[in-house]
Amino acid sequence: MDAPTIDTRPSLGTAARSAGGEAGPVKIRTRDVSVFYGDKQALNSVSLDMADRAVTALIGPSGCGKSTFLRCINRMNDTIQGARVDGVIELDGEDINVRSVDPVALRARVGMVFQRPNPFPKSIFENVAYGPRIHGLTSSRSELQDVVEQALRRAGLWNEVADRLEQSGSSLSGGQQQRLVIARAIAVDPEVILMDEPCSALDPIATARIEELIDELRQQYCIVIVTHSMAQAARVSQQTAFFHMGQIVEIGRTDDLFTNPKEQRTLDYITGRFG
């Protein structure tokens, strides 16, 4: 079964926010993905295409499987004892679940940002430098410094931390920590960035900054974001998938899905009748 083809071009309604770039071709293609934690099925036959240079939002009530789905894309479910993933997940047309794909190499291509900011208890510089260092992306100290600076600039954090790179990453505020973590993810030059409720621990101002950042990053990356905030999904994404009970109920262009949902359950959820 094929997923419905979705037009992920930025809608006119969000034109002001998405000045740069058309959505690209399909970056991640998933078919009939099911996930089991032991005997419990967390995800049931999910098929979803995610476009390059676009933001795909996954919404749905707690426990509906959206984070589980997200963790399939960089194979973080491998780290959970007893987790089993069925179905096909392709990145640029290559199946990522075959034996020949090293999850460590995959995660260099697919970065991830978590719900709570989780900087390493090291300096700001070391936080960002760690990824390039383990992957051997730089050959000299000055090159590494350039990479760190570029990543921090793109994460919009450079001006705030340029003079205190040696301070501990945990000395930053929550919003800054989350941007530091985003800088850490983009420092290894990934193709996809997965975000698992990146703003749920942040105040509205920090949230707004992260959303701006997501909008900028969209021009280079395929971004998949899990969010509980429907307003956030509407603001930052071009495509939205509504998950419920481990299944996708509806996929659509974000403005269509929020203004004109086809499914009753979607309507109930986005109007706050459950969830």
Partner 1 sequence: MTDRPDIRAAVARRLQQRHAAERRFRLYGMVAIGVAMAFLALLLGRIIEQGHSAFVTHSITLDVPIDAARIDPAYPQGANYDQMVATALAARLNADIQNPEVARDLRDLLSPDMGFQILSRVREDPSLIGQTVTVEAPVGDSADLFFKGEIDRATPQDQRVLSDRQIGWLDQIEAQGLVRAHFNWGLFTRSDSTQPETAGLLGAIVGSALMLMVTALLSIPIGVMAAVYLEEFAPKNRLTETIEININNLAAVPSIIYGLLGLAVFIGWMGLPRSSPLVGGIVLSLMAMPTVIIATRASLKAVPPSIRDAALALGASRTQTVFAHVLPLALPGVMTGAIISMAHALGETAPLLMIGMVSFVPGVPESIVSASSALPTQIFIWENAAEAAFHERTAAAILVLLVFMVIMNAVAIVLRRRLERRW
The residue ranges that bind partner 1 (CB under 8 A) are 74, 76, 79, 81, 104-108, 111-112, 114, 116, 118-121, 130-131, 134-135, 170, 181, 184-185, 188
DSSP H stretches of helix in the chain: 66-73, 103-109, 124-135, 141-154, 158-161, 174-186, 204-217, 230-236, 254-259, 264-270
Q: How far is the CB of 169 from partner 1 (least distance, A)?
A: 9
Which one, 63 or 121, has the nearer CB to partner 1?
121
Which one, 111 or 261, has the nearer CB to partner 1?
111
Which one, 83 or 251, has the nearer CB to partner 1?
83
Report the C-alpha gap between 270 and 266 in whole angstroms.
6
Q: How far is the CB of 107 from partner 1 (least distance, A)?
A: 4
Report the C-alpha gap between 124 and 136 in whole angstroms.
19
Which one, 181 or 230, has the nearer CB to partner 1?
181
Q: How far is the CB of 50 from partner 1 (least distance, A)?
A: 18
Sign of CA dihedral 135, 139, 141, 144: negative
Q: How far is the CB of 105 from partner 1 (least distance, A)?
A: 7
Which one, 132 or 261, has the nearer CB to partner 1?
132
Q: How many CB atoms lie within 10 A of CB 122?
A: 14
Report the C-alpha gap between 84 and 268 in whole angstroms.
31
Q: How far is the CB of 29 from partner 1 (least distance, A)?
A: 21
What is the identity of the amino acid at 230? Answer: M
CB 55 within 8 A of CB 238: yes
